[in-house]
Amino acid sequence: MLFAVMVMFTVPAFSQSASIKIGYVDSEIILKQLPEAIKAQGELDALIEKWNKAVDSMSTVLQSEYADYQKQQANMPEPKKAEIQQKLIKKQQDIEEYRRAKFAQGSGEIYRRQEEFLKPVKDKTFKTIEIVAKEEGMQFVFDKAGEILLLYADASYDITYKVLDRLKRGK
């Protein structure tokens, strides 16, 4: 949002001296139609399905063992009950740990694999965006659909260090 406000105030200043050409892409369309992206998503989906089946299998085993325990607990001595309860708790914890390791937001294997599978696609896409932007004489290219708003910017419009210098000088 800060960037959008800065652009609103910066663009009129630039537009007085030179015209700025801005473009955008819809990354969702690119990812849905680019064969490499489709293949990468298919590989990721296959891994997710494999991991979900593993969780389902572990959960089924746990439910079966718990059902057996429920049926037999009345006839068990206390030490045996405690031992089986601990085993069931351990299995439940193992399932949760597996889920966390595979699917945890930002840190699970799914996110590492997604980056691994999609990095070549992203790199190729960003490079192509840069080439097309330069061919079209665009200074900025935004993403209509993605999380990353600015995909390409002409370095001659970068005022980062001027802003930083003023901030450091207290002006």
Tokens for 137, please give them.
Answer: 């004489």
pLDDT at 13 exceeding the cut of 70: no
pLDDT in tens, 104-139: 988 899 999 999 999 999 899 888 988 998 898 889
Widest CA span in the chain: 90
Spatial separation of the C-alpha atoms in residues 10 and 18, rounded to whole Å: 12
Task: Note the pLDDT of residue 146.
Answer: 67
Who has greater pLDDT, 155 or 139? 139
* Among 158, 154, 148, 150, residue whose Cα is nearest residue 134: 154
The SS3 of residue 135 is: helix
Who has greater pLDDT, 89 or 23? 89
Task: Note the pLDDT of residue 69.
Answer: 94
* Percent of all residues in the chain with a pLDDT value above 90, rounded to a whole number: 50
Q: Which of 8-12, 69-73, 131-135, 149-153 has the lowest mean pLDDT?
A: 8-12
Task: Note the pLDDT of residue 84.
Answer: 95
Question: If you ran DSSP here, which 8-state letter would residue 19 be given?
Answer: -
pLDDT at 24 exceeding the cut of 80: yes
User: Residue range 65-73: average pLDDT?
Assistant: 95
Please report, for the chain, the start and end positions of each structural domain, with discontinuous segments joined by +. 2-169
pLDDT at 4 exceeding the cut of 60: no
What's the whole-model pTM score? 0.67
Task: Give me the residue label for tokens 């015209």.
Answer: 19
